Amino acid sequence: MRYRLVIFDWDGTLMDSAARIVACMQAAARDAGWGHLEAAAVRDIIGLGLPEAIDRLCPGIDAERFELLRSRYAYHFVEGSRTPMPFFAGVEMGIARLRELPARRLAVATGKSRRGLDRVFRESGCGHWFHASRTADETRSKPHPQMLEELLVELDVPVEEAVMVGDTEYDLEMARALGMDRVAVTWGVHAPQRLATSRPVYTAEAVEALFDWLES
């Protein structure tokens, strides 16, 4: 068993949610009177906490418009959008394989809010897959390593026996700051060349390859 603890990012790593995030952020910016946000710019901030994402997308935004944009994004994401958010093909089977190993622990470290993560756990019926999770509003947004530090303490696993799996440099740099091994996946939002600068121990180009590697 390569690692006792595998920590997954959510959006862009396990769930194919980028299209919905982009559409909802663009709609929220229009509602708030900020104007058009380029899709590439929105994709780039996926993985950050929502306040940090808005600050990066809308530099200099005033407090009132900030709160309006945030509330409209929540509305569009929860109620206004019908863009599907499936798991990437092979994820459910891969997680099931990992869960067959009794000593293996699985966790989530995500830029979502706790409310948002719990909602998707309920809707997808997958909350029982994971032994622990951390969200950006409970700790600090990626790439700060606080959420990883807290997961290690909660699950009583030393850093050298854990790995972070993610599709963005925010995921990988969060782990790198802690000296944790990190695995890049290329089916998410950041390009492989960008992920490579964080020196992942492995780069997975397919979901099945990721889970094969984690089991080896």
Q: Please list the rounded mean pLDDT of every run of 10 residues in the chain (216 residues).
A: 93 97 96 96 96 96 97 93 93 96 94 94 95 96 98 98 98 98 98 98 98 94
Q: What is the pLDDT of residue 92?
A: 97
pTM: 0.95
**CA-to-CA distance for 42 and 40, rounded, in angstroms?**
5
* Exposed/middle/buried for residue 215 (C-beta within 10 Å: 0-12, 13-18, 19+): middle
Give backbone dihedrals phi and psi of 157, rounded to 5 degrees, phi first. -125, 130
Q: What is the pLDDT of residue 180?
A: 98
Contact 182, 172 (CB under 8 A): yes
- Supply the DSSP symbol for 86: P
Q: What is the pLDDT of residue 102?
A: 85
Within a 13 Å sphere around the CA of 122, how many CA atoms are in the beta-carbon half? 6
Q: What is the pLDDT of residue 167?
A: 98
